Structure 1
Amino acid sequence: MMPFKRAIIFAAFFIIVFILLRQTHTSNDPEPIRRPPPKPDSSNHDHLTNNPSTTDHGTGSDVPLRDQPVPVQKPILDMSKMSLYDKLAYQYPYDVETKFPAYVWQTWKWTPANSEFDFRQQEASWTNLHPGFVHEVITDQVAFHLLRLLYASVPEVLEAYNALPEPVLKADFFRYLILYARGGIYSDIDTVALKSALDWIPESVPMSSIGLIIGIEADPDRPDWKDWYSRRIQFCQWTIQSKPGHPVLRDIITRITTETLKRKREGLFVSKEKSIVEFTGPAIWTDTIFDYFNDPRYFNMQQSSGNISYLNFTGMEVPKKVGDVVVLPITSFSPGVQQMGAKDYDDPMAFVKHDFEGTWKPESERHIGQNS
């Protein structure tokens, strides 16, 4: 047997070793995994707010998410008691800080898959210069059902669309309606994209400050301009880029809807081409834009040097920004017309070529036909 003294020494040794090993394991144990505090629930984030200071739309804000105001859920209102203008504003609110949606919208009787589609080269130019964009050629039947989906809560708009007696009127109305609800680019099927829309605006202009991009169609500096055009400066509506819910689109939709339903009650509709221009075409489009530029709801007119008119745009050769609207010179959407100061197709400001294939074709051949 082990002597008692030696046994005591061994016991003491093992006790010391045990204590040291325990202390070592305790000091080397990993810290408990602490879950980070849960982030605010973004599933209720109100992307439809009109207040850009309360939302983060990927614009590079350095404000930590936890320090941003808690979004307020949009209240559910009784739309039946609203005016048409307010219904549209509620259904598709406007936020200038959102990105331009990557859509290209065009309309025609057939899609490119149909053998009778005659605009393959023009249509392909938009697809080739806008990779990653959703490019849709909307037919008559698709337009009808698409608008029923987008404007189900605003039945006056659908009633007005269905009441329009001519395909050309529906074609004009559709472009405003699709851009207001979905945003993106609308361009007539007989246009050719010369440059990507990503290159339309100088890099010095932040896209988060722009909601609508338009071009000048006509700048007829001649005494008899009224014999040829409806307005001294006429804005183009065969190519438009916009963010959803823009007030200009809201206003023109309200105007066309109200006038259409009025004429429906009276049994009076347009029959002449010039009347079409005034009713749904570039004349009313131009008037609506100028009214927006001079609207005290959006601009501080007290600090303005005067009303904005054609004088602010005639002869321009570079883009101009008015509030959240960029106006492009005539060369951008009308190059090569050999008049009114428009330059050729190879000019740096030439963005879209218009072939004018279907501008005043017989109504039976126009895109977006009767749906009702």
Structure 2
Amino acid sequence: MYARRPVYPVPQVRRLLPACAICILLIILVSTAGSFGELSASISYRATASTGQFPRKIWQTWKVDPLGFEERDLSVARTWTAKNPEYRYEVLTDQNDVQYVETHFGPSGFNRLDIIYMYKSLRLKIIKADLLRYLVMYVEGGVYTDIDVEALKPIHRFIPQRYSEKQIDMVIGVEIDQPEFNNHTILGKKSQSFCQWTFMCKPRLPVMMVLINNILRWLNQVAIDQKVPISEIQLGFDEVISGTGPSAFTKALLSYMSGKEQVGVNWDYFHNLVESKLVGGVLVLTVEAFAAGQGHSDSGNHNAKNALVKHHYHASNWPTAHPRYNHPVYGEVEKCNWDVECVKAWDYNKAVFDALSQEEQLAQIALKDQTESEDISFPGPIS
């Protein structure tokens, strides 16, 4: 004799249907996204696509998670959550960064194994830090800001009221606006740049992937030129700036804006910028917004109405591992901080030094070392 099937009351079956539907939907989403991390990024992207809003998310990267922050870093980080309580906040660390990259760029994500290989091979911390911010912003968007950057104003102030958020794909600010040094052998490539210690963008923005691909090609070429694996490449200060830093960031963005506007967009568009400008979906803020108080580029001060963040630079010690050009007598031209007369004097003194015989140069270096040891200012030739 066959057992009789249990018969459920119709109301009970109806109550089960919504739960079943939700389970099926979750299974579909997870199978599509590959993981809950990828699911979160997918939802963020779809929300941005449907609403036109920037993701309400603040990203930082650091050695440790917020529970391990020193008081110095904690007090600065708190300014972001205090001024933006409606935003989620996340820090990627030296312990979980690889997992993030593998999740989103592995076979269940964008399937870019070359990106994973490059990221895991790199040993230069500043290069990894630059690359990671671009990877995160491509995947999820939101606001990226360095660990030593303080929020002075809430994020909604990043976009002036005259603009609609739907019009804008990215918000950046000018960092260095000194085009008169464009042809300088050392300062030239750094004289016109956007700030990348704080910026905001929507997810899956093509310019971010272009920038990432540019970096991968450059690093591979560096390894070839130096005849070493990626893990052993060595870079100077200017190579970092032009390879992954502000110069690389700026170059990619100018090219992107040119493509969107179908006209050549160069630095003339942003020189002496007195108010924000929207070009090709990229909102460019004045230097005062993200880079106030630098002492150059007409950057104003942090008390100004349009100053949005304050960079404290206490985490910016990477140049010790990637030194600037340091003349044996006259030191670093960057110490002039873009002062025209100071740079002219440095250039003149260097030219005079270069014209000396090797014996005379060694004598100049010895005199400089002696005066430094005796704490006497070295006069040298002057213009």
TM-score computed with the length of structure 1 as normaliser: 0.67
* Alignment partner of 1:144 out of 98, 104, 107: 98
Aligned partners of 1:42, 1:97: CA distance in 2, in Å?
A: 23
How far apart, CA to CA, are the structure 2 residues paired with 1:342 and 1:138?
30
1:357 aligns with 2:314: yes
Q: 1:134 Cα shift? A: 1.1
Give the superposition deviation at 1:362: 6.0
- CA deviations 1:189-214 (Å, max 9, x no partner) are 01000111111112221101111111
Q: For residue 196 of structure 2, what is the aligned residue in structure 1?
A: 237
When residues 287 and 209 of structure 1 are mapped into structure 2, their CA distance, relative to the original with a 3 A threshold, is same
Q: Which amino acid aligns with 1:157?
A: I
- Quote the Cα distance in structure 2 between the aligned partners of 1:115 and 1:109: 9
Matched, 1:283 2:247: yes
Matched, 1:254 2:213: yes
> What's the % identity of the aligned pairs?
27
Compared with structure 1, are the counterparts of its residues 348 and 169 closer, same or farther at alpha carbon in structure 2 (3 Å cutoff)? same
Is the 8 Å Cα contact of residues 185 and 239 (structure 1) preserved in structure 2? yes
Superposed CA deviations along residues 306-345 of structure 1, whole A, max 9, x for unmatched, are x211111110121000021000110000112232111121
In 1: Cα distance, 2:118 partner to 2:307 partner? 36
Q: 1:344 — aligned with what? A: 301
1:360: Cα distance to partner?
3.4
**Structure 1 SS opposite 2:64:** coil
- Paired residue for 1:197? 155
Is 1:184 matched with 2:142?
Answer: yes
Question: Number of aligned pairs?
Answer: 274
Q: How far apart, CA to CA, are the structure 1 residues paired with 2:299 and 2:169?
A: 25
Q: Distance in 2 between matches of 1:231 and 1:337?
A: 14
For residue 14 of structure 2, what is the aligned residue in structure 1?
Answer: none
TM-score normalised by structure 2 residue count? 0.65
**Structure 2: gaps (5+ residues):** 1-20, 26-31, 33-44, 323-383
Shift of 1:258: 2.6
Q: Residue 76 of structure 2 aligns with which residue?
A: 122
1:319 to 269, 272, 276: 276
Output the aligned Cα RMSD.
2.9
C-alpha separation in 2, matches of 1:222 and 1:337: 17
Contact kept in structure 1, 2:181 and 2:188, CA below 8 Å = no
> Which position in structure 1 is the counterpart of 2:228?
267
SS at match of 2:96: helix
For the pair 1:98 / 2:52, whether they are aligned, the reply is: yes
Q: Are 1:221 and 1:340, in contact at CA under 8 Å, matched by a contact in 2?
A: no
- 1:263 Cα shift? 4.1
User: C-alpha separation between the residues in 1 aligned to 2:285 and 2:54?
Assistant: 17
- Flag the 1:259–1:203 CA change in 2: closer, same or farther, 3 A: same
Provide the rounded CA distance (Å) in 2 between the counterparts of 1:98 and 1:142.
30
Give the direction of change, closer, same or farther, for the CA distance of 1:334–1:257 in structure 2 (3 Å limit). Answer: same
**Equivalent pair of 1:167/1:363 in contact (CA under 8 Å):** no
Separation of aligned partners in 2, 1:351 and 1:317:
15
User: Matched residue of 1:104: which SS?
Assistant: strand
Higher relative contact order (CA 8 A, sep 6+): 1
Change (3 A) 1:181 1:223: closer
The alpha-carbon distance between structure 1 residues 246 and 363, as it changes in their structure 2 partners (threshold 3 A), is farther
Q: Tell me, what secondary structure is at the counterpart of 1:336?
A: coil
Determine if the alignment matches structure 1 residue 334 to structure 2 residue 291. Answer: yes
Superposed CA offset, 1:79-108 (max 9, x none): xxxxxxxxxxxxx89949532111111111
The residue aligned with 1:175 is: 133
CA contact (8 A) 2:182 2:188 kept: no
Aligned AA (1:278): S
* Residues 276/353 of structure 1: CA separation in 2 closer, same or farther (3 Å cut): same
Gaps of 5+ in 1: 1-40, 46-75, 77-91, 366-372
1:97 to 1:262, Cα distance in 2 relative to 1, 3 A = farther
User: Quick check: 1:232–1:310 contact (8 Å CA) kept in 2?
Assistant: no
Q: Is the 8 A contact 1:107 1:139 kept in 2?
A: yes
**Separation (CA, whole Å) in 2 of partners of 1:263 and 1:352:** 34
- Taking the aligned partners of 2:182 and 2:314, their CA distance within structure 1 comes to 26
In 1, the alpha carbon distance for the partners of 2:280 and 2:257 equals 8
Partner of 2:346: none
Q: What is residue 15 of structure 1 aligned with on the other side?
A: none
Which amino acid in structure 2 is aligned with residue 323 of structure 1? G
CA contact (8 A) 2:127 2:240 kept: yes
Distance of 1:362 and 1:251 partners within structure 2: 26
